[in-house]
Amino acid sequence: MSGPEDLVVEIEALGEKLAAAKASITKRFIGQERVVDLVLSSMLCGGHALLIGLPGLGKTRLVDTLSTVMGLKGARVQFTPDLMPADILGSEVLETAPDGSRAFRFIEGPIFCQMLMADEINRASPRTQSALLQAMQEKSVTIAGKAHDLEAPFHVLATQNPLEQEGTYPLPEAQLDRFIVQVDVDYPDRATERDILLATTGAEDGEVHEVFTAAELIAAQKLLRRMPVGEGVVDLILDLVRACRPEEAEATDPVNASVAWGPGPRAAQALMLTVRARALLDGRLAPSREDVVAMARPVLSHRMALTFAARARGEKLTDVIDSVVADVTRTVRAA
């Protein structure tokens, strides 16, 4: 078993490799460093990411670039109201052999990949959305009573349009909880948009190259779980998650007044993993309390809901989360 010195060497080597991966990604997905970091964090944690943003902001381009740089077999499914579960999972067909015998053969669907882009996932019916649940949680699918394992690693990067809600089916809370982070993709600033304009309207597009292999990504995911986490960081994660639950003893006034339901234990697990990933991407050997503060919105915003009265008052869930984070960190500093 490797000792602390070996762990430090492995973490530093992985940090350098991640820096090379980010440099390659930014050749095609210009700017938006925070978005890249959050999606990479979700992959380092072995989880899935939900990308929220308007059309044309590069979400599809990012996923396509990631599959190349991380050395993963990618697939894309455009979710529509008429999409059926079999269109994603695959189905069994009856074939007749030359000798006249008949047998069922399973034809794999696009989910049998390593990185699945679920484009506009909320446009499909709840029945089709739920077809992803087993795959996201157990990394396998069941067809005709038989389980089929998915190839490791397996990641779902789903997209949603935050404005156009006509003809959509909001994801159920149980499925939202399976996404380790929610990534809000905003408009780029002027300088970044200028770089995008010049880079994407010329004769040549930016070339990316493979930095990781699937085996190396799996090894990185295992290494991340070996990173040390200080007691102060663990306590802050627990304080923050419990403070976001209405009616809990630790709940703050804004939560009791505005939040209908709060995050469960899976949110604390997600924070525990993503703060490590953020430290790795920043070239540090262990996460800090600042990492917890930075990851609070991406981890918690899709695991909480405002009450009807709070929505009627025009409150925003992100403002409530920021208020809770400020209250909790203030209490920790005072202690």
pLDDT digits (tens, 9 = 90+) for 62-72: 888 999 999 99
Tell me, what's the pLDDT at 128?
87
d(CA 163, CA 9): 46
Give the SS3 label for residue 85: helix
pLDDT at position 167: 67
DSSP calls for 192-261: HHHHHHHHHSSSSPPP------HHHHHHHHHHHTTS---HHHHHHHHHHHHHTSTTSTT--HHHHHHEEE
> Tell me, what's the pLDDT at 165?
67
CA distance 141 to 76: 17
In the DSSP assignment, the letter for residue 307 is: -
Instruction: Convert the pLDDT of each residue in 310-324 to its tens digit.
Output: 999 999 999 999 999
As a 3-state breakdown, the chain gives helix, strand, coil percent values, each rounded to 5, of 50, 15, 35
pLDDT-derived band of residue 35, with 50, 70 and 90 as boundaries? very high
pLDDT score of 147: 86
**If you average pLDDT over residues 29-35, what whole number do you get?**
86
Q: What is the pLDDT of residue 164?
A: 67
Q: Say if residue 250's pLDDT is above 70.
A: yes
- The overall average pLDDT reported for the chain is 89
Domains of the chain from N-terminus onward: 1-225 (3.40.50.300), 227-335 (1.10.8.80)
pTM for the model stands at: 0.90
pLDDT for residue 335: 56
Half-sphere exposure of 262 (CA within 13 A, CB side): 24
49: phi then psi, degrees, rounded to nearest 5: -130, 145
pLDDT band with cut points at 50, 70 and 90 for residue 270: very high
Is the per-residue pLDDT at 260 higher than 70? Answer: yes
Q: Which of 198-202, 222-226, 294-298, 304-308 is predicted with the least confidence, judged by mean pLDDT? A: 198-202
Sorted by sequence, the CB contacts under 8 Å of residue 22 that are 6+ apart come out as 33, 36, 37, 40, 281
Determine the pLDDT at residue 49: 95
| Rounded average pLDDT over 32-48 | 93
- What would the mean pLDDT of 277-291 be, rounded to a whole number? 93
215-249 pLDDT, tens per residue? 999 999 999 999 999 999 999 999 999 999 998 87
Check residues 291 and 330 and name the one with the higher pLDDT: 291
> What pLDDT, in 10s, does the model give residues 160-198?
888 766 667 888 888 889 999 999 998 888 988 898 888
